[in-house]
Chain A
Amino acid sequence: MQTFFRPQARALVVLLMSLLLPLTKPFTVIVSDSSNQSALVDGPQSGFTMNRDGARTDAREQEAVYDIMRATGNDWATDIPDVCRGRWHGIECMPDKDNVYHVVSLSFGALSDDTAFPTCDPAKSYISKSIMKLPHLRTLFFYRCFSHNPQPIPAFLGQLSPTLQTLVLRENGHVGFIPTELGNLTRLKVLDLHKNNLNGSIPVSLGRLAELRSLDLSRNTLTGSIFSLSFPVLNVLDLSQNLLVGSIPSTLGSCHSLIKIDFSRNRLSGSIPESIGSLKELILMDLSYNRLSKPLPTSIRNLNALQALILKGNPMGSATLSSEEFDGMTSLMILILSYTNLHGPIPESLGRLTNLRVIHLDGNRLNGSIPTNFKDLKNLGELRLNDNQLTGPVPFGREMVWKMRRKLKLHNNTGLCYDANSGFEDGLDSTFDSGIGLCNTPEPGSARTVQHLSAIDDGGTMPSKADESSAALHKALVFPRLLQTNNSYRVYFDFHFNVRKRRHARNSVMLRFFQLYHRLVRLYVVYCYWFWKKYIFRLQKIVSFLCYKDQVTGFLQIGAEKLLSGNRVSADWS
């Protein structure tokens, strides 16, 4: 590409262009928009030299570009004889009917090596007021430009030419309020103020930007509530990672073109408005990490284009999901409802949404069993149901388990188990613990428990380690009902203490362990000692016993099921 900009090459092109000029005549000249005051000739531009013979660049605009370049530390640019000649990176021009060239686009910032926009001197850059002398400007792009010289977004940008369509001030370290004056840029299609330090509320004046297609104010510190916005052609609305409060305006339902709503990580409260159901084009809705406290509106089922619904981390007011919840949301692929305080059973309707690939329902209080039609969700790649109160057998066969592998998370439920003949166990990754065990078939209805205990002993640092391990063991014994009255308990005991030290302490702890857990069915021990064998042989119900030494970790681990050190769960359960 470099060679293309050599002056000789350019001269050659000019020459050839002038020779071939008659050839270009047959093209229809399209004026982009009759209402466009600048009336630039919007047609295919010819090659590297924008200027043909006799064409010139508007002198006032040329000076303005020099000013703007100087203000960003690009003093070298003042040596460019004609900013519209030679396709300088970051500067785009277009001719008008009189063959005078006008600047239509200016871009700054080290976006990447491939896009060599003029960089900004971070310490002293600012936006020059001369920018207002560019009456044909359509695009203004500043990226990582003023981070070390924090400054507000200049209000005069609101007086920019009404031709402006794209205003991008990304990661610039802007401080202060969003100027109300930006609402004057009525032709604006893209407004992107991502990752600045803007505060105050979103100015209501932005509601006048009726042609807006993308509004990105994410990652600022904006406060206040979201005004009653209504943008007829808005496609993308991203207000995530701010400090916005109040409720989601019901007028959102009038933004019919929305394909993405991202309000995640704010402090929004109340409910999702019923009007949301009219957003037929919506593909992604992320409202995670807010304070939404009402159940989902029933109209949400109308969102049949929605592919991702992310509501994680909202206290959805002890909501119970109705059995028809999500019915009709046939495009849904990603459903994230972790930690949303959900109660009741998992709706069966979910199993009918066969496009689902990701379901996270972890950290709720869901009870009942997993709907059997979940086995029809053949596309499922991630399923998190851990940390709930689910019971009963899991409906998946070997194939699904094998496909999801570690991404099937079922641990910490009240009584999930798998049937011996379901093939579930065959699908399991041998190094990975599914968190559940075999169903106890003879006693239907009996409570099944899975316990995770862990005691950590790192030997060297604290003196009374043996006592502490015992304490942890005692802690486990606070639940004697669970451990001793129940026939089918399973215990995970993850004992981490330094095996090279204090053999006596260790052995006394182990002795008590074996006494207490005398009904163990399976035992898995890393670093077992020969003199434990006599205890192990006393465990009358023992079916399988696995013992090996793991030289790498140096930890001692005991489990009544397959146990993995990486999957420790702490003992402080309530």
Chain B
Amino acid sequence: MAFRLGLVLLVLLLSFVVDCVHSDDGATLLEIKKSFRDVDNVLYDWTDSPSSDYCVWRGVICDNVTYSVIALNLSGLNLDGEISPAIGNLKDLTSIDLKGNRLSGQIPDEIGDCSSLQDLDLSFNEINGDIPFSISKLKQLETLVLKNNQLIGPLPLTLSQIPNLKVLDLAQNRLSGEIPKLLYWNEVLQYLGLRGNNLVGTLSPDMCQLTGLWFFDVKNNSLTGKIPENIGNCTAFQVLDLSYNQLTGEIPFNIGFLQIATLSLQGNQLTGKIPSVIGLMQALAVLDLSCNMLSGPIPPILGNLTYTEKLYLHGNHLTGSIPPELGNMTKLHYLELNDNLLTGNIPPELGKLTDLFDLNVANNHLEGPIPDNLSSCTNLNSLNVHGNKLNGTIPRALRRLESMTNLNLSSNNIKGPIPIELSRIGNLDTLDISNNKISGSIPSSLGDLEHLLKLNLSRNQLTGFIPAEFGNLRSVMEIDLSDNHLSGLIPQELSQIQNMFLLRLENNNLSGDVMSLINCLSLSVLNVSYNNLAGVIPTGNNFSRFSPDSFIGNPGLCGSWLNSPCYDSHPEERATISKVAILGIALGALVILLMILVAACRPHNPAPFPDGSLDKPVSYSTPKLVILHMNMALHVYEDIMRMTENLSEKYIIGHGASSTVYKCVLKNCRPVAIKRLYSHYPQCLKEFETELETVGSIKHRNLVSLQGYSLSPCGNLLFYDYMENGSLWDLFHGEFKFIHN
């Protein structure tokens, strides 16, 4: 009986205790809410009304029995403010997820009081300060993810006192100091992400004490010294990324003991030879040794890596020839051997790489012809052999490479004519065969390359006319035919090319006038100097922006500037200038000045390029398409531009106050919606980019997720999944806001 009574009392007491815990947690949550600046009022249901049960509040998960809060999931809610020290009162919390907000301030010490905590994710916020010492009191902690914040200070060595730590991701902060070697003495750590900090010091041989670790990433720090000789003892490693540090010395032979999938050592100062033993690391999917100071030959045994998809050896001092054995790497998608000192021929065996997507051997000392066998690489998208000593002719078989978008054969010793077959590669967007010894005339069928964006045939020995069919190159942005022996007129049809911003025809024997170019409104770089052109240089449209240098060396060409051929020939006209004419000239100059001003103030609209290029040619590189989600991975910037005809009006599906939305449908891909922002702050590109990467990482079922972006001459472009239903404009109008149902 007494026992029963005791039991009843115990139950009563327990219920009382539970009740206490209960109400305390609610008050604590409200305290926590107070320190958040809840911009979008997403925590509107967190109220202190007596009827409100905090266990049903947004993001709160309670224990079924004790009703104490065990998990807090407030990720991606655009919360501002700070993490309240009150969080330490939630003793039963096992999981805190606040990732993807805009929280600032420091991590409160009191978080160390959440003694049951197993998962702590504060990534993608703006949290600053040191990692608090009290984190090491969390003995149950298994996952600590603090990446993408602004944490400073050293990596606390007391993290080594968390016995169950399995995931430690502190990437993209501002942590400094050395990696404490105590961190390596852990039997259960699985994942160590330290990428993108300011860590210094050397890699300790103790790193192989991490017997369970599979992911080791210290990319983009300032580590020095050698790769530890015993690196091969890290047998559990799957991903080893030491790239973009200042590591020196040789790649240890011992590395061959690793059975890893990704080996990234690029962007260091590694010397010596590529150890042949790498050829035995058969699990390798990615091998990146680029941008080091490696010398010696490419070991033929690399051909053994039959699972490797990416082989990057560019930017080293590698010598010898390209081993034909590389042709055995049947899974290879990317082969980049450019910027080395390689000699010999391009081995025909590379033709066996039927999955190859990108082959780059530019800037080496390769000789001999381009092998016909390369035409078997039917998936080849880009072939770059620029800057070698290749000879022979352009293989006609290249026409079989129907997927090719980028063909660069420039700066070699290639002879013979441009084969008519090149015009069958319908996907080409870049064709560069400049600086060779190509002769003959330009095949008119090149005009069939309707997707072409860039055509460079300069510095060859081409003769004949500029084909009128070039007028069919609707998308083309750059045409360079300079330094040839071309003759005849500038074809009238060039005026049909509305997107062309660069046209270089200098040092040929062209005759006739330049009037046909008057309608190329987007033209911002023009050079027709040193030809036999005649007539008057028009002053209308955009011609005012071209300097005399664009036209000199044409004895018959009249311009309105000093030393122009016509300038001297009609002195009397100037002498009889009336006051009205002076006024006219002054007005004209004012108009020109205004136009320049307008153009300078609006560099992205409509002219695709900044007008800093008024009197000198711009170096134009392909705009970067930054892919945030893998859905976009199959897209290439040029493809998108081609399919939308450089964002032509007919693809517009909506307008907004600050943007225009286009739809782009690519073959084999999901449709993409492209949002073009009118550029207001071109100087803030970096911030724009950073902001976008953050936004792009947010996923929400009610939010059209950002797939990628590009800072292109056409303006800043955002790429989204195209949504079939509903008004896209509406969706975009609320693009960064969360929609509540």
Contacts and interface: CB of A to CB of B under 8 A. Distances in A.
B713 to A, nearest CB: 41
Contacts of A382: 109, 130, 132-133
B405 to A, nearest CB: 28
Given A92-B235, A283-B180, A382-B133, A20 B211 contact: no
A82 to B, nearest CB: 18
B306 A552 contact: no
A136 interface: no
A377 B406 CA distance: 58
B85 interface: yes
A260 B277 CA distance: 36
A259 B163 contact: no
Q: Is the interface of A mostly helix, strand, loop or mixed?
A: mixed
Given A48-B283, A219-B163, A170 B187 contact: yes
Given A45-B257, A92-B235, A336-B133, A308 B154 contact: no
Contacts of A333: 154, 157
A435 B562 CA distance: 79
B722 interface: no
Contacts of A27: 276-277, 280
Interface in A37-63: 43-48
Nearest to B185: A236
A283 B280 contact: no
B512 interface: no
A23 interface: yes
B393 interface: no
B317 interface: no
Nearest to A403: B129
B214 interface: yes
Given A4-B307, A284-B157, A552-B34, A566 B86 contact: yes
B133 A260 contact: no
Contacts of A357: 130, 153-154
A574 interface: no
Interface string A192-203: 101100000000
A430 interface: no
B703 interface: no
A334 B106 contact: no
Interface string A282-307: 01101000000000000000000001
A336 B132 CA distance: 13
Contacts of B130: 357-358, 381-382
Contact of B182 (A192, A194, A284): A284
Nearest to A429: B105
Contact of B282 (A43, A48, A168): A48
Contacts of B303: 20
B248 interface: no
Interface string A521-541: 000000000000000000000
Interface in A136-150: 139, 141, 143
Contact of B190 (A1, A111, A552): A111
A462 interface: no
Interface in B270-312: 276-277, 279-283, 300-301, 303-304, 306-307
A214 B209 contact: yes
A405 interface: yes
B113 to A, nearest CB: 13
A112 B166 contact: yes
Residue from B133, B191, B277, B306 having most chain A Cβ neighbours under 10 A: B133
Given A284-B160, A406-B85, A168 B236 contact: no
Contacts of B185: 214, 235-236, 259-260
Interface string B176-220: 000011100101101100000000000000100101101100000
Residue from A16, A143, A262 having most chain B Cβ neighbours under 10 A: A16
Interface string B670-700: 0000000000000000000000000000000
A332 to B, nearest CB: 11
Nearest to B257: A44
A544 interface: no
B188 A143 contact: yes
Interface string B234-263: 011000000000000000000011010100
Contact of B163 (A12, A43, A195, A358): A195
A441 interface: no
A47 B187 contact: no
B187 A192 contact: yes
B85 A566 contact: yes
A407 interface: yes
B280 A114 contact: no
B31 A566 contact: yes
Given A139-B211, A214-B209, A284-B182, A46 B282 contact: yes
A44 B211 contact: no
A259 B191 CA distance: 23
A220 to B, nearest CB: 12
A16 B306 contact: yes
Contacts of A308: 157-158
B397 interface: no
A310 B279 CA distance: 48
A194 B304 contact: no
A47 B285 CA distance: 12
A420 to B, nearest CB: 27
B156 interface: yes
B167 to A, nearest CB: 8
Contacts of B48: 552, 554
B187 A190 contact: yes
A44 B160 contact: no
Contacts of B153: 357, 379, 381
Interface in B76-109: 84-86, 105-106, 108-109
Contacts of B306: 12-13, 16
Interface string A7-35: 00000110010001001101100000000
B599 interface: no
A16 B327 CA distance: 13
Nearest to B143: A112
B30 interface: yes
B133 A334 contact: yes
B423 interface: no
B279 A307 contact: no
Interface string A388-425: 00000000000000010111000000000000000000
A25 to B, nearest CB: 10
Nearest to B206: A235
B190 A114 contact: yes
B86 A4 contact: no
A485 interface: no
A243 to B, nearest CB: 17
A115 interface: yes
A166 interface: yes
A221 interface: no
Contacts of B280: 24, 27, 44-47
A218 interface: yes
Given A46-B280, A406-B109, A23 B301 contact: yes
B115 interface: no
Residue from A26, A45, A139, A405 having most chain B Cβ neighbours under 10 A: A45
A522 B303 CA distance: 80
Contact of A1 (B212, B261, B277, B328): B261
Top 6 closest pairs, chain A to chain B, by CB: A47-B282, A44-B256, A381-B130, A44-B280, A358-B133, A236-B185
10 contacts: A44-B256, A45-B257, A47-B282, A310-B158, A357-B153, A382-B132, A382-B133, A406-B85, A407-B109, A407-B132
Given A218-B163, A554-B48, 11 more contacts: A192-B187, A259-B185, A260-B185, A286-B161, A357-B153, A360-B133, A405-B106, A407-B132, A566-B31, A566-B84, A566-B86
Interface of B: 30-31, 34, 48, 84-86, 105-106, 108-109, 129-130, 132-133, 153-154, 156-158, 160-161, 163, 166-167, 180-182, 185, 187-188, 190-191, 206, 209, 211-212, 214-215, 232, 235-236, 256-257, 259, 261, 276-277, 279-283, 300-301, 303-304, 306-307, 328
